[in-house]
Structure formats: structure tokens, C-alpha cells
Amino acid sequence: MFLIHVYTHHKAEFQNFAYTSRLDKFLGNLVSGRTEYTALWDLIKHLLTLSHGQGAVERGYSINKDMLVENLQERSLVALRMVQDAMAGQPLHEVLPRDLVAHCRGARMRYVQYSEDEKKKKDQTANERKRKDLHQEIANVNAKRQKIMHSIETMQKEADEMAVRAERKHDFTLLSKSNAYRKSVPDKSEELAALKQV
């Protein structure tokens, strides 16, 4: 099927193929991306990686895998690939420009600065979270204090009203309820005082 469909339509390209060109790129342009040739493309990749004469092909397939480590971040991988691509082939025959050398010398300093910036961001985020939690706790304490103060006022008012009704009606049960309210006011006042100390 490959010979019928691909070779016959691209016969001139096969005949004019330069043996110094990369075979994987040539076959990839013809075969890869087509669903009917998925298995064939996998076979071609395996065959080309076995060949010692196609070392560049093998590196092309596995360069990202070789560079990846567990804690490598995206910026580091991009930088490694840029260096790899720039130096691909013959690093000893290239004369490095001065600005590139100066840039490489400052790499450690930039890394330290980047690490410090990341640490500052983390610290700032943690401080903001602590501040937010503290504000929330203060708001909760203030709400509880307001609730207790309202309870004290309500109990005192109820106790006074019951005492007046008890006096008018000469009802001692209302008077005992009034006294019960008055006795619970100091407990609430102590609770309020404890909250004020917080």
C-alpha cells in the first residue's frame, strides 16, 4: 500500500533524495500524520534509531526525554534546548561572541535573583494569608462580643420587666424568673470581659 500510494506519487522525490539529507525528515514528510501509516511510521522510527549512521535521528527523538529531570522547570528546559540547538553539530568550530560569554557568566547571579524573587512571592503570599486569617478572627471575636452584649442588655431588660410585673401582680414566680435572669448576667459579663482581653 505504501509503495502504491506514496512511492508512485512521489517517485521523483525518492529518486532525487540526497544521501547526506536526514532520512527521518524525508520519510516523516511523506508518512507521519496519516492514520493509515501510523504503524509504518513507528517501524521507521525504530529502524532509524537502531542505525549507527543515523545518530542525529536518534537524538532528535529523545533530546527532550534526556534533558528532563524531576524538578526541571519550563524556563530551564527552554534554556537547555536553546543551548543544545545553538551548539548542535560543531561547538568547537564556533567562536563565541563576548556578549554571549558575559551573559553566561551572569547566569548564576540571575538564578539567585530568580530564586530570591520566588521566595519573596511565597513569603508575601503566606503573610497575606496570615493577615487575612487574623482579620477574620478579629471579625469573629467582635461579632461574638456584640452578641454577648446584646444578650446582657436583653436579659437585664427582661429581668426589670418581670420584676415590675411581679410587683404589680404579686406573683413570686415572675420574681424568681427575674432573679434567674439577673444571676446569669454576671456570667455573660465575665465571658464578655474574657473576649475583651483577646
User: pLDDT per residue over 140-178, tens digit each?
Assistant: 988 888 888 888 888 888 888 888 887 788 877 877 777
Question: Which stretches of 17-97 are DSSP H helices?
Answer: 23-31, 38-50, 55-67, 74-87
Residue 85 within any structural domain of the chain: yes
Quick one: 84 and 6 in the same domain? Answer: yes
User: pLDDT per residue over 17-50, tens digit each?
Assistant: 887 777 778 877 877 777 787 787 777 777 776 6
Of the chain, the end-to-end C-alpha distance in Å amounts to 83
Residue 28 within any structural domain of the chain: yes
Quick one: 69 and 146 in the same domain? Answer: no
Whether pLDDT at 61 is above 60? no
Residue 181 within any structural domain of the chain: yes
Q: Are 62 and 81 in contact (CB under 8 A)?
A: no
Residue 178 within any structural domain of the chain: yes
The x, y and z cell numbers of residue 167, run together, are 410587683
Phi first, then psi, for residue 172 (nearest 5°) are -75, -20
Whether pLDDT at 68 is above 60? no
Quick one: 7 and 85 in the same domain? Answer: yes
Quick one: 85 and 11 in the same domain? Answer: yes
Q: What is the pLDDT of residue 32?
A: 75
Whether pLDDT at 183 is above 90? no
User: pLDDT per residue over 76-113, tens digit each?
Assistant: 767 777 777 766 666 566 677 788 888 888 888 999 99
User: CA–CA separation, 142 vs 186, rounded Å?
Assistant: 19
In terms of residue numbers, what domain contains 171?
Answer: 136-197
User: pLDDT per residue over 127-139, tens digit each?
Assistant: 999 999 999 998 9
Residue 105 within any structural domain of the chain: no
Residue 100 within any structural domain of the chain: no
pTM equals 0.41
User: CA–CA separation, 72 vs 128, rounded Å?
Assistant: 28
Residue 46 within any structural domain of the chain: yes
Number of structural domains (the chain) is: 2
User: CA–CA separation, 78 vs 63, rounded Å?
Assistant: 12
User: CA–CA separation, 179 vs 171, rounded Å?
Assistant: 13
Place of cell 547571579: 109
Q: Which of 65, 69, 31, 66 is nearest to 48 (CA)?
A: 31
Quick one: 72 and 149 in the same domain? Answer: no
**For 67, how many CA atoms within 13 A lie in the half-sphere containing its CB?**
20
Quick one: 74 and 150 in the same domain? Answer: no
Residue 113 within any structural domain of the chain: no
